[in-house]
């Protein structure tokens, strides 16, 4: 028996013991590395094979092959006992054919998306965007808009007052005043933004919601201009199938005043909780700017006239995306937001 065969026999005896004791994957893998791995015993022995005398070569080769096979059997047996299979170690390698993991990216909130869309539509009609503060004074929010001192909207039940007398704006209409105070006519603006009211939240009301205000002042502006701009807006946002409805109404800052409805997209006009069974959703208040408002900002009502409108952005979003309840827009549940 030559030195190589002796080494193989010693290795086999040792490997039997180690394999019997190896219960975890790491120990089994170490066994493989020590005997069959690139720097393990058997590859080393195969290099020594060259120095074996010719007459011993056959026997040594047979012992070498039998030894290597036996080691593999010991490894397989240990794997089986430990509950892992050869296939396990294969699946642990990354599978390059799997599709990549998509990184979640955020996107604009549906309210912002609809507001942006409204602005884009009005921009195409020549309106520019104006902005105003959310913390307003009573003058801009009520007085200059011709709101009587005893108007219910001024009540603390409806309006959030700060101790210093300022308020959270209840509408985007004060932006009209701010724009006219600082610009000579003609003006043509839209002002999207957040407004605040002490409403009890339900499917179509929130304490804090969004409006987009529009104002156009020029010479000889008429109600027909108002109707056409609102019709164009409805068509651009919801397609030519949308039905619109104007109803006479009252606002302190417009005369005449109207409320403006879109047919309900949730139920197609049949009646559902969103439209409170009426088939229509109130979208906008609008009208011809009251001469008193023009005088408050120093515009001559004999020369200038105009229209104004204000719409609820949440209502538009609900119609656009068929959202049955306004409150989904504020809960920030990602399962809801992901859908947009
Ligand atoms: N500010 C009104 C509201 O909050 C909406 C509105 C009505 C705006 C008529 C207007 C308008 O500009 O002309 O209900």
Residue 310 belongs to a domain: yes
Residue 17 belongs to a domain: yes
Rounded to an integer, what distance in angstroms lies between the CA atom of residue 259 and that of residue 203? Answer: 20
pLDDT band at residue 121 under the 50/70/90 scheme: very high
pLDDT at 309: 97
- pTM score: 0.69
| Atom of ligand 1 at shortest range from CA of 211 | 4
In terms of domains, do 58 and 123 share one? Answer: no
In terms of domains, do 9 and 115 share one? Answer: no
Inter-residue contact 193 to 132 (CB < 8 Å): yes
Q: Mean pLDDT lowest for which of 175-184, 234-243, 281-290, 308-317?
A: 234-243
Residue 50 belongs to a domain: yes
Rounded to an integer, what distance in angstroms lies between the CA atom of residue 269 and that of residue 147? Answer: 34
Mean pLDDT of all residues in 226-237:
92
Question: Regarding predicted confidence, which is higher, 25 or 287?
Answer: 287
Residue 97 belongs to a domain: no
Domain count, the chain: 2
Instruction: Name 212's bridge partners.
Output: 192, 311
In terms of domains, do 82 and 139 share one? Answer: no
Residue 236 belongs to a domain: yes
209: domain CATH number? 3.30.930.10
In terms of domains, do 121 and 67 share one? Answer: no
Inter-residue contact 130 to 172 (CB < 8 Å): no
SS3 262: strand
Last residue of a domain, which of 90, 118, 148?
Answer: 90
pLDDT at 255: 96
Q: Are strands 208-218 and 187-196 parallel, antiparallel or unpaired?
A: antiparallel
Q: Which residue's CA is the closest to the ligand 1 atom numbered 8?
A: 310
Look at residue 14 and tell me whether its pLDDT is greater than 60.
yes
In terms of domains, do 69 and 142 share one? Answer: no
Phi/psi at 194 (5° precision): -95, 140
Rounded to an integer, what distance in angstroms lies between the CA atom of residue 152 and that of residue 97? Answer: 67
In terms of domains, do 76 and 131 share one? Answer: no
* Mutational pocket test of ligand 1: of 151, 286, 290, the residue with most ligand atoms within 8 Å of the beta carbon: 286
Residue position matching structure tokens 């538009």: 316
Encode pLDDT of 131-159 as tens digits: 999 999 999 999 999 999 988 888 888 89
Residue 102 belongs to a domain: no
In terms of domains, do 172 and 262 share one? Answer: yes
In terms of domains, do 124 and 85 share one? Answer: no
Encode pLDDT of 331-340 as tens digits: 889 899 988 8
Domain region containing 65: 3-90
Question: Regarding predicted confidence, which is higher, 269 or 340?
Answer: 340
DSSP 8-state code for residue 98: S
Q: Determine whether the shortest distance from the Cβ of 282 to ligand 1 is under 6 A.
A: no
pLDDT at 84: 64
* Mutational pocket test of ligand 1: of 179, 310, 311, 314, the residue with most ligand atoms within 8 Å of the beta carbon: 310
State in Å: Cα 256 to ligand 1 middle: 12
In terms of domains, do 11 and 135 share one? Answer: no
pLDDT at 225: 96
In terms of domains, do 300 and 193 share one? Answer: yes
SS3 37: coil
In terms of domains, do 215 and 301 share one? Answer: yes
Residues near 42 by Cβ (< 8 Å), separated by ≥ 6?
A: 35, 36, 64, 67, 68, 71
Residue 131 belongs to a domain: yes
Question: Regarding predicted confidence, which is higher, 135 or 245?
Answer: 135
Encode pLDDT of 39-78 as tens digits: 999 999 988 888 888 899 899 999 999 999 999 999 998 8
End-to-end Cα spacing for the chain: 79
pLDDT band at residue 161 under the 50/70/90 scheme: very high
SS3 282: strand
Closest by CA to 245, choosing from 269, 266, 225, is: 269
Alpha helices in the chain (DSSP H): 3-21, 25-35, 41-48, 54-82, 86-91, 110-124, 138-141, 174-182, 223-238, 291-296, 313-321, 328-331, 334-337
């Amino acid at each position: 028996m030559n030195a190589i065969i002796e080494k193989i026999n010693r290795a086999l005896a040792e490997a039997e013991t180690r394999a019997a004791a190896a219960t975890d994957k790491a120990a089994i893998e170490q066994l493989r590395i020590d005997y069959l791995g690139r720097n393990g015993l058997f590859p080393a022995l195969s290099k020594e094979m060259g120095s074996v005398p010719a007459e011993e070569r056959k026997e040594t080769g047979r012992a070498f092959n039998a030894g290597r096979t036996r080691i593999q059997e010991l490894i397989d047996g240990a794997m089986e006992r430990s509950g892992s299979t050869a296939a396990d170690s294969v699946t642990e390698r990354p599978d390059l054919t799997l599709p990549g993991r998509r990184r979640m990216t955020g996107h604009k909130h549906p309210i912002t998306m609809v507001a942006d869309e409204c602005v884009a539509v009005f921009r195409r009609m020549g309106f520019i965007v104006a902005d105003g503060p959310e913390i307003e004074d009573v003058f801009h929010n009520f007085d200059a808009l011709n709101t009587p001192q005893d108007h219910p909207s001024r009540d603390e039940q409806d309006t959030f007052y700060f101790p210093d007398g300022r308020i959270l704006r209840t509408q985007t209409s004060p932006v009209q005043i701010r724009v006219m105070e600082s610009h000579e006519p003609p003006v043509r603006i839209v002002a999207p933004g957040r407004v605040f009211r002490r409403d009890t939240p339900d499917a179509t009301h929130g304490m804090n919601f969004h409006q987009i205000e529009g104002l156009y002042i020029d010479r000889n502006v008429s109600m027909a201009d108002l109707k056409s701009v609102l019709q164009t807006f409805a068509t651009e946002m919801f397609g030519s199938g949308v039905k619109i409805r104007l109803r006479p109404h009252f606002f302190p800052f417009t005369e005449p005043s109207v409320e403006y409805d879109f047919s309900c997209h949730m139920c197609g006009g049949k009646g559902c909780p969103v439209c409170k069974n009426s088939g229509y959703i109130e979208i906008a208040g609008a009208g011809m700017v009251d001469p008193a408002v023009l005088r408050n900002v120093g515009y001559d009502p004999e020369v200038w006239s105009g229209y104004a409108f204000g719409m609820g952005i949440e209502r538009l979003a609900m119609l656009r995306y068929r959202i049955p309840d306004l409150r989904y827009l504020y809960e920030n549940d990602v399962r809801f937001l992901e859908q947009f």
